[in-house]
Amino acid sequence: MSGLGDLHSKLTAIAERLPTIRSVCTNEESTKLFLVLPVLNALGYDVTDPTVVQPEYAADFRDSLCDRVDYAIMRDGVPVIAVECKKVGADLTANRGQLRAYFTALQSVRLGILTNGLRFEFFVDVENANIMDDEPFVTLDMEAAAQRAIPADVLDVLSTVTRAGFQPAAMSEIAEMRLVSKRLRTVLMQEVREPSLDFCRTVLRLAGLENLRKSRIEAVYSSMVRNAFEEAFVIPVLELLRTTPENQGATPPTTDVAAQRIVTTDRELAVYRYVCRRLAFLASDEHQFSAIEHVHYRDYVGKFAVYYKSVNKGRLFDFIEGGNGYDRFIFPDPIGEISTSTMADIDQPLRAVFSLRIRELGSAQPAGVPVPHKLRA
């Protein structure tokens, strides 16, 4: 088995034990013992060897009342990786400052890992030497790993973190590329969701439209820019997903024989298309994006159901077309019914329910199959 394949197998084996283990991880110590140390072992670090992994390592500029990082991973007698652990369910974002302080205090450290046993965030110092970046350059989600294959790009990065492949320079270069790419995606996604005046002017100028008034851009062209972007980039990718070989034999999301008398309206189809387009922008990662191919609809007398994988267990919402300009979107509890004339009002509830259904029913990514390169951001 290849190095990456072996790493994937070890991490997946740990992840598959989460449902039975996490219930006993009621504090930080049990989280370390049952969830964190096995992952460090999988990365090649012998947690029983004090020359490799040292617990409660002093990490402070002060001589008295010294703070200690949970684990320091050693190389040639000096710490190169600082690992800070929190109990299962802890908010990692709120604890990044603590790891940052340890990162700065330990001058030889090249990598910081913050974890609650379920998520492992990896940090370097791309922006300022010896000052940990604000954002992780890669995150290992062990809960997701229990449901689907760990993305190939994440495994590629983790290969530079293992003991056998630890390469600080290569790791920092990869981290910089990933962080910049993430920020570019964030900017572009924000511009597409709510195009700024400058963005609209730039795109319109490239299309041969110049010297347009601000009011005209906001009233007419802003929505056109957003829709054009969706039509040019999002819809073709979704169609590609739907026409891949493993999906060509899927049951079409249409009505059954007993319901042939039901006529799906243009408005209902518009709602379905809107859902697919918006989820492409609302998706938080590649797995959620790939899962959109499993969003289908079923028409009933009096309502139109949009669902993920299963029409019953995977229900996203029921749509009831209104005659007064206000349509009804009935989401599962606790969200309930939303009556609106603007479909954008369902974006946040849609994202929440879609994420929940993926966790409950699994993602579109089959186990053992890496994410296709052409679909990676």
Q: Residues 297-318: pLDDT tens digits?
A: 999 888 999 999 889 999 999 9
> Is pLDDT of 376 > 50?
no
Q: Are 54 and 132 members of one domain?
A: yes
> Is pLDDT of 367 > 80?
no
- In the structure encoding, which two tokens stand for residue 347, read together? 């974006």
> Is pLDDT of 246 > 50?
no
Which residue type sits at 301? V
In a domain, 23, yes or no: yes
How far is the C-alpha of 100 from the C-alpha of 105, rounded, in Å?
Answer: 9
Which residue type sits at 147? Q
How far is the C-alpha of 103 from the C-alpha of 96, rounded, in Å?
Answer: 10
Please give the pLDDT value at position 63: 57
Please give the pLDDT value at position 123: 96
In a domain, 111, yes or no: yes
How far is the C-alpha of 372 from the C-alpha of 377, rounded, in Å?
Answer: 11
Q: Is the Cβ–Cβ distance between 17 and 71 less than 8 Å? A: no
In a domain, 52, yes or no: yes
How far is the C-alpha of 327 from the C-alpha of 340, rounded, in Å?
Answer: 6
How far is the C-alpha of 200 from the C-alpha of 60, rounded, in Å?
Answer: 50
Omega of the bond leading into 334 within 30 degrees of 0 (cis): yes
> Is pLDDT of 215 > 90?
yes
Please give the pLDDT value at position 363: 55
Q: Are 97 and 235 members of one domain?
A: no
Could you tell me the CA-to-CA distances from 121 to 112, 207, 220 in Å, in that order?
Answer: 8, 42, 43
Q: Are 32 and 144 members of one domain?
A: yes
In a domain, 166, yes or no: yes
User: How large is the C-alpha radius of gyration of the chain?
Assistant: 24
Q: Are 149 and 35 members of one domain?
A: yes
> Is pLDDT of 252 > 50?
no
The end-to-end CA distance of the chain, in Å, is 28
Give the model confidence (pLDDT) of 103-126 as tens digits. Answer: 999 999 999 999 999 999 999 999
Compute the Cα dihedral for 114, 116, 117, 121 and give only its sign. Answer: negative
Mean pLDDT for 221-230 is 85
In a domain, 320, yes or no: no
Please give the pLDDT value at position 237: 65
Could you tell me the CA-to-CA distances from 188 to 192, 229, 318 in Å, in that order?
Answer: 6, 10, 31
> Is pLDDT of 283 > 50?
yes
Q: Are 94 and 173 members of one domain?
A: yes
Give the model confidence (pLDDT) of 122-161 as tens digits. Answer: 999 998 999 999 999 999 999 888 888 888 888 989 999 9
Q: Where is 53: in which H helix or E strand?
A: strand 53-58
In a domain, 340, yes or no: no
Q: Are 9 and 154 members of one domain?
A: yes
Q: Are 204 and 131 members of one domain?
A: no
Please give the pLDDT value at position 323: 78
Q: Are 173 and 199 members of one domain?
A: no
Please give the pLDDT value at position 194: 82
In a domain, 210, yes or no: yes
Q: Is the Cβ–Cβ distance between 255 and 297 less than 8 Å? A: no
> Is pLDDT of 40 > 90?
yes
Q: What is the DSSP string of 263-321?
A: ---HHHHHHHHHHHHHHHHH--SHHHHHHGGGEEEEEETTEEEEEESSTTTTEEEEEE-
Q: Are 55 and 112 members of one domain?
A: yes
Strand partners, 68: 58
Domain that includes residue 235, residue range:
194-243
Out of 203, 224, 243, pick the residue that ends a domain: 243
* Residue 166's CATH number: 3.90.1570
3-state secondary structure 131-143: ECCCCCCEEEEHH
Q: Are 105 and 223 members of one domain?
A: no
Q: Is the Cβ–Cβ distance between 85 and 36 less than 8 Å? A: yes
1 or 198: whose pLDDT is higher? 198
Give the model confidence (pLDDT) of 55-86 as tens digits. Answer: 999 987 655 557 899 999 999 999 999 999 99
Helix axes 266-282, 347-361, angle to 10 degrees: 70
> Is pLDDT of 371 > 50?
no
Nearest in space to 77 (alpha carbons), one of 51, 39, 44: 51
How far is the C-alpha of 30 from the C-alpha of 87, rounded, in Å?
Answer: 8
Most confident of 83-87, 178-182, 261-265: 83-87
Contacts made by residues 307-316, CB under 8 angstroms, sequence distance 24+: 308/354, 308/357, 308/358, 308/361, 309/357, 309/361, 310/361, 313/357, 313/360, 313/361, 314/357, 314/360, 314/361, 316/275, 316/350, 316/353, 316/354, 316/357
% of the chain beyond a pLDDT of 90: 53
Number of domains present in the structure of the chain: 2
Please give the pLDDT value at position 119: 94
In a domain, 36, yes or no: yes
Please give the pLDDT value at position 377: 33
Out of 205, 228, 243, pick the residue that ends a domain: 243
> Is pLDDT of 352 > 50?
yes
How far is the C-alpha of 227 from the C-alpha of 232, rounded, in Å?
Answer: 9
Q: Are 203 and 173 members of one domain?
A: no
**If pLDDT is split at 50, 70 and 90, which confidence band does 191 have?**
confident
How far is the C-alpha of 263 from the C-alpha of 352, rounded, in Å?
Answer: 29
Mean pLDDT for 229-235 is 73
Please give the pLDDT value at position 77: 93
Q: Are 107 and 46 members of one domain?
A: yes
How far is the C-alpha of 214 from the C-alpha of 201, rounded, in Å?
Answer: 9
Q: Count the residues in the chain.
A: 377
Locate tokens 């409950």: which residue? 360
